[in-house]
Amino acid sequence: MATVTVEVNGRPYAVGCADGQEERVRALAGQFDAQVRSVAESVGNVGDLRLFLMSALILADELHEARAGGGKDETPSSPPTPSNDGVAEALNAVAARLEKIAQRI
């Protein structure tokens, strides 16, 4: 298992991931960082944990809409692809890290 240091909202976080998934985790963290910074601009300084939670909920809502077809009446041209195990592992590692942070607060 590899460890990647990513930066979210100006703070470094060490994240475990499957070997070979380091660049993907960095890219995902970059997308998450952009979302967190966008939320921070909207709501101000409410603490990292709340910013992360709000950002995660927004991203979960976007994912839900994408899986539901965005509310469009279009028939998908191909079935949805199963989730990547490496991504799931990375997200689980991030969730565990957030839980540790929440326990410290």
Token pair listed for 86: 């490496």
Q: How many CB atoms lie within 10 A of CB 50?
A: 14
For 40-54, how does the pLDDT look when each residue is reduced to its tens digit (9 = 90+)?
A: 999 988 999 999 999
Question: What integer best gives the mean pLDDT of the chain?
Answer: 81
For range 22-27, the mean pLDDT = 96
* Percent of the chain residues past pLDDT 70, beyond the cut: 66
For 55-66, how does the pLDDT look when each residue is reduced to its tens digit (9 = 90+)?
A: 999 999 998 889
Alpha-carbon gap, residue 81 to 53, rounded angstroms: 26
Q: Is the pTM of this model over 0.75?
A: no
